[in-house]
Amino acid sequence: MITLAQYLNEHSANAAVSDLITTVTEVGKTISQLLQKGALADILGEAGNQNVQGEEQKKLDVLANDMLLKALAQNPHCAGVASEELDHATPANKDGSLLILFDPLDGSSNIDINMAVGTIFSILPYQRQGHSSEDQDFLQAGSQQLAAGYLLYGTSTMLALSVNDKVVMFSLDPDSGDYLLINDHVQIAADTSEYAINASNYRYWRKPMQQYIDEVIAGETGVRGRDFNTRWVAAMVGDIHRILCRGGLFTYPFDTKYANKAGKLRLMYEANPMSLLIERAGGMATNAVTRILDIEPTDIHQRVPVVLGSKNEVDYIKQLHIQHGE
């Protein structure tokens, strides 16, 4: 079988990118081991403080963040690190050619109940080599990403990755400690009857999203003429993984639940890297109307509505928004 190291050697055009991915995936092995021990490693529960997003941090949010930050800051190719959990980006080696952004632990509410969580990462070029990096340097559209991926700590630990025009998947072999290639061409079917949404926010959505959900719930008795099915992992990594495996739609749409938050998910740490994977696997990724990868960021922590997955379903939602003049 092909190891991650062999794959990167053959298929990544940028040795620095490969090196950064290796750093992330090595830390991922440690996070995976800690999760396997769970309560026995004292990693469950609250850390007792809030992050920059105003969210209560779990012990593992902090632990994963610190391990990734420490390892990446020591990588000579890394000019700076931005994390969902830190107020500002951390400058690293000013001669490095790359910036990295990550959500160290996605799906935090799943940690304490022994359910799937993950790590999401995005790699951008660094334009000001020789100078110390600042938050501003990270404000690049998702289309500029050189690579993106996630680690899913589920019943097994898996890595989904794109370093070229393809999406590939690896499974961590607990015996050898190697990530082994299990799918060298991930593709998402254009049609689907499966969708993921937290429907408890229904009353906060815009009209077109409410209409979409009304239609799929009506199933074969409504305009869609067929039944749909819901799945919600509460960890974006889990939902995106399912979509890469068997298609589907995932949305965390615009809502008015909290003032000044255009939805829950973060553009730089969640939406951009996942959109890169989804598009390169043949799917579509929008904020309901606009392509996510074209959004010019204004803040490293900005939030964005997300609608992504099987192409025809994402496009259907886009048309509903256009019809409603959104």
* Cβ-proximal residue to Mn ion, closest one: 106
Contact set for Mn ion, span 6-65 (CB under 5 A): none
Q: Choose the contact partner of 36 out of ligand AHG, Mn ion, none; CB within 5 to 8 A by kind.
A: none
Are the CB atoms for 270 and 85 separated by under 8 Å? no
According to CB under 6 A, which residues from 38 to 57 bind ligand AHG?
Answer: 55
Which residue's CB is nearer to Mn ion, number 194 or number 270? 270
Q: How far is Cα 266 from Cα 302, in angstroms, rounded to an integer?
A: 6
Of positions 132, 164, 198, 319, contacts ligand AHG by CB under 6 A: 198
Distance CA 33, CA 177 (A): 11
**Which residue in the set 32, 97, 108, 119 belongs to the binding site for ligand AHG (CB under 6 A)?**
108
Asked if residue 239 binds Mn ion (CB under 5 A), the reply is no
How many CB atoms neighbour CB 48 within 10 A? 10
Is residue 103 part of the contact set for ligand AHG (CB under 6 A)?
yes
Residues 218-254 as b or e (16 or more Cβ within 10 Å = b) = eeeeeebeeebeeeebbbbbbbbbbbbeebbbbbbbb
Is residue 74 part of the contact set for ligand AHG (CB under 6 A)? no
Is residue 307 within 8 A of residue 316, CB to CB? The reply is no
Q: Which position among 28, 103, 250, 279 is part of the footprint of Mn ion (CB under 5 A)?
A: 103
The nearer residue to ligand AHG, 83 or 145, going by C-beta atoms, is: 83
Contacts of ligand AHG in 144-163 (CB under 6 A): none
Residue 106 in the binding site for Mn ion (CB under 5 A): yes
**Residue nearer to ligand AHG on the CB measure, 264 or 280:** 264
What is the spatial distance between Cα 245 and Cα 216, in angstroms, rounded to a whole number?
A: 22
- Cα–Cα distance measured from residue 85 to residue 64, given in angstroms and rounded to the nearest whole number: 10
**Phi and psi dihedrals of 305, rounded to 5?**
-65, 145
Q: Does the footprint of ligand AHG cover residue 309 (CB under 6 A)?
A: no
Q: Minimum distance from CB of 11 to ligand AHG (Å)?
A: 28
Bridge partners (DSSP) listed for residue 162: 148
Closest separation in Å from C-beta 273 to Mn ion? 11
Question: 20 — alpha (psi -120 to 50), left (phi > 0) or beta?
Answer: alpha
CB of 51 to Mn ion, least distance (A): 8
Dig out the tokens for 9 from the structure.
Answer: 């050697």
Complex with ligand AHG: residue 38 or 125, whichever CB lies closer:
38
3-state secondary structure of 67: helix
Taking the complex as a whole, how short is the minimal distance between the CB of residue 118 and ligand AHG, in angstroms?
8
Sheet holding 306-309, edge to edge: 229-230, 194-196, 249-252, 306-309, 284-286
Indicate the residue among 102 and 195 with the shorter CB distance to Mn ion. Answer: 102
The verdict on 236 binding ligand AHG (CB under 6 A) reads yes
Binding partner of residue 256 among Mn ion, ligand AHG, none, CB under 5 to 8 Å per kind? Answer: none
Asked if 178 is part of the footprint of Mn ion (rule: CB under 5 A), the reply reads no
Q: How far is CA 8 from CA 132, 180, 320, in A?
A: 28, 12, 41
CB of 236 to ligand AHG, least distance (A): 3
Residue 230 has φ and ψ, to the nearest 5°, of: -105, 145
Per-residue tokens: 200: 């408890």
Which of these ranges, 10-18, 48-56, 80-88, 174-182, lies near Mn ion under the rule CB under 5 A? 80-88
List of residues contacting Mn ion (CB under 5 A): 84, 103, 105-106
Q: Which residues form the interface with ligand AHG (CB under 6 A)?
A: 55, 84, 103, 106-109, 198, 234-236, 252, 264
